[in-house]
Amino acid sequence: MPIKLIRKLLPPTAWGLWGLAMFLVAVLVYIHPFNTNLCSTFAPSSQNWWAGRDLYFMQSIDGFLYFPQFAIIYSPFAWAANPIGDIAWRFAGLALFCIGLWRLARLLSPQNGALVFALTTLAVFAPSLSSIRCGQANLHIAGFLLNTTVELARKRWWRATIYLVVALAVKPIIFVLLLLAAAIYWPMIWRLAVGLVVFMLFPFATANPHYVMAQYHACAAKLLVAALPDRAFCDIRGVFWAIGWIIPQSRLALMQVSAAAGTLGLCVLAKRWWNEPHRAVFIAAFSACYLMLFNPRTEENSYVILAGILAVPTAMHYVDRRRFSAGAALVCIGFWFSGDGWAYRLTDPWLKPLACMIFTIVLIRKLFRRDIGRFSSSAEGQLEHFSAQPTGLTPAAASTVE
């Protein structure tokens, strides 16, 4: 088959692959609505909110581990009820994720964005399947991170703020990228401050103030308990746990603070050494690496967040730069970050954090190359024009993506 024909067929095939995955998951949810379905935790929380009941009644590291705002924004899905609401929730996450992949691919490679998206799909498809199947909010967070990266690169500060604030309501872990965005992109500081004020006041518009304050206090206590897990997760401790080394909580806290300072320093260097959109990609990727390694509750499914932000620029290097190493890296992303893939019991919880450590080293090495000029003609120079309307899309499709 001619190469040109393959290049033309890959993008629609990628979209078809995502559509097939959503269809099969929808069928599974419809047939077995309570089989490994995390929406069974989300929906009762929304019902408890509107009934004025406690959201955080489980005094353990499990249960409802989100801000009260999540119970409110999940309400439409809870009202639709199982299985329709559960399927709609999964579809919303997958749509957000796919649009984020598409937009970032088109931003990094205006000429070959569709092909970059297709190769990215092949790399991240397996790592995303588990989150789609069980309704994990990690897929939504991965989508928010990708779309926020695009908005930061285009200097659309308010759009980036909205993505970050809504993502914070979906899952608190996006706070890492929120803080880095404020530290690196100074125009974001006051906008994020406004957004966070709205975020905090939003629940008071839907419930009694005393009830809201009680839930805020309970949320803080719950998250503190959840930050001290009694079992191994897929963070940096999982690597050492597998070989019998248990990292004490005090030492982990010191590692978290040191790594946070190091991550901020790397992002400052990215700001100084790289132009957009690669600067924004570095910052988002470093935030995801930190999150995977130092969030004490990183799960197998969480690695879809890292897989997406790594796969798009890697696919761009393979398509635009013809680098064999980038193609090999795409295979590794799809292989190492698969949620329910090969040898699950043999590789949990050490393989994914170990892979993340390797990719972090590669990312730092790339950062220190400081080769800004190599990309100015392919992406940075076309950024202003590209911000107006994605190349190759009809006006209707462009409005949908944007």
Give residue-wise pLDDT tens across range 68-95.
999 999 999 999 888 899 999 999 999 9
Report residue 386 CA to chain centroid gap: 24
d(CA 66, CA 44) in angstroms, rounded, equals: 13
Least confident range of 281-295, 309-323, 343-357: 343-357
- Predicted confidence band of residue 339 (pLDDT cuts 50, 70, 90): low
Least confident range of 134-143, 185-194, 377-386: 377-386
pLDDT at 395: 36
Radius of gyration from C-alpha coordinates of the chain: 21
pTM more than 0.85 = yes
Domain count, the chain: 1
The verdict on residue 231 lying in a domain is yes
Contact 141, 178 (CB under 8 A): no
- Predicted confidence band of residue 390 (pLDDT cuts 50, 70, 90): very low
pLDDT at 63: 80
Report the 10 Å Cβ neighbour count for 144: 27
The verdict on residue 34 lying in a domain is yes
The verdict on residue 189 lying in a domain is yes
pLDDT at 334: 86
The verdict on residue 202 lying in a domain is yes
Longest dimension (CA), the chain: 67
pLDDT, greater one: 269 or 5: 269
- Predicted confidence band of residue 230 (pLDDT cuts 50, 70, 90): confident
The verdict on residue 141 lying in a domain is yes
Q: Is the pLDDT of residue 187 over 70?
A: yes
The mean pLDDT of 342-363, rounded to a whole number, is 84
The verdict on residue 12 lying in a domain is no
The verdict on residue 3 lying in a domain is no
Structural domain containing residue 124: 21-401
Integer distance in angstroms from the first to the last C-alpha of the chain?
A: 35
Close Cβ partners of 154 (under 8 Å, ≥ 6 residues apart): 107, 276, 277, 383, 387
- Total residue length of the chain: 402
Q: pLDDT per residue over 295-329, tens digit each?
A: 988 888 899 999 999 999 999 999 987 778 888 88
Contact 79, 209 (CB under 8 A): no
The verdict on residue 379 lying in a domain is yes
d(CA 223, CA 225) in angstroms, rounded, equals: 5
Q: Which two tokens stand for residue 109?
A: 């490679």
Residue ranges in 274-390 assigned as alpha helix (H): 278-294, 304-321, 324-336, 344-347, 351-367, 373-376, 383-388
Q: pLDDT per residue over 110-167, tens digit each?
A: 999 999 999 999 999 999 988 888 888 999 999 999 999 999 999 999 999 999 999 9
Q: Is the pLDDT of residue 398 over 90?
A: no
Q: pLDDT per residue over 17-38, tens digit each?
A: 999 999 999 998 888 776 666 7
